[in-house]
Amino acid sequence: MIRALYSAATGMNAQETNIDVISNNLANVNTTGFKKSRADFQDLMYQYAVEPGAPTSQTTMNPTGVQVGLGVKTSSVQKVFTQGDLTSTGNQLDVAIEGDGFFQILRPDGTFAYTRSGSLQLDQNGQIVTSDGYSIAPGITIPQDSLGVTIAQDGTVSVKQPNNATPTQVGQITAVRFPNNAGLRAMGQICTRKLKPLEQL
């Protein structure tokens, strides 16, 4: 009886984790760049009362044995990196990545972080930053006399300036890829990873 209660308790704990993951997914359904998570489970070890092949008489043996499972546990909670829906916002600085990849941003402590959110803005110095104020890497500064900003499909950032009919290129927004996206550490607004990116796109 004690074993049955323990197994049932492991099931409740696993389902509590599952509900937590689903609730977080629902809460962030409108969050830009959010990737949903999925909980994976595995059964715990088994207790053998009778081993398969154990003799039942001098000439016969038990074909299956008696084994009792001891419950379930959460094996992992991983991000699902599928392509989300693209929405036109009307903001000339908003961008999105089609397919695999992350924007690289610079944190205040000098470390790099990575995000799928392309909601970009200009700070007081004219630098392109995220909605949290982190500058993208490599940094791009828009001149103060710019009349407009254009971001091409390859990430090239160009500006229109007075008395100049030809747009001036001021930088390029790059994306990076990782060999194992599921190994990224989620930090809320951004993801970080100790390993270097696989390549720049």
DSSP state letters, 35-85 = --EEEEEEE--EEEEE-TT-BSSSS-B-SS-EEEE--EEEEEEEE------
**pTM greater than 0.75:** no
Side-chain half-sphere of 12: how many Cα atoms within 13 Å?
Answer: 6
Residue spans of the chain under pLDDT 70: 1, 189-201
In angstroms, the CA 134 to CA 118 distance is 12
- Model pLDDT, residue 198: 54
> What pLDDT sits at residue 14?
92
- What is the model's pLDDT at position 130? 85
Contact 99, 174 (CB under 8 A): no
**pLDDT value, residue 194:** 46
* Distance (Å, whole) CA 117 – CA 94: 9
The one-letter code for the residue type at 124 is: Q
- The Cα 170–Cα 67 span in angstroms is 68
Structure tokens at 34: 């959010």
- Whether residue 138 is preceded by a cis peptide bond, meaning omega within 30 degrees of 0, is yes
Q: How far apart are CA 9 and CA 2, in angstroms?
A: 11
Residue 23's pLDDT is: 95
